[in-house]
Amino acid sequence: KKKTLYNRYYETFAEFKAACEEFFRNPSKYQRG
């Protein structure tokens, strides 16, 4: 089962977790309009 975050696919939970950590480090980078 794949996990998705902002329409991106992560093959492993580790990749998904790293993406979440990146998001929380730089939330302003991901804010929408």
Return averaged pLDDT per consecutive 10 residues of the chain, 33 residues in all: 65 86 84 71
pLDDT at 4: 65
d(CA 22, CA 20): 5
φ, ψ dihedrals at 30, nearest 5°: -110, 0
Name 4's Cβ contacts closer than 8 Å, sequence gap at least 6: 10
d(CA 11, CA 2): 6
Q: Looking at the whole model, is its pTM more than 0.75?
A: no
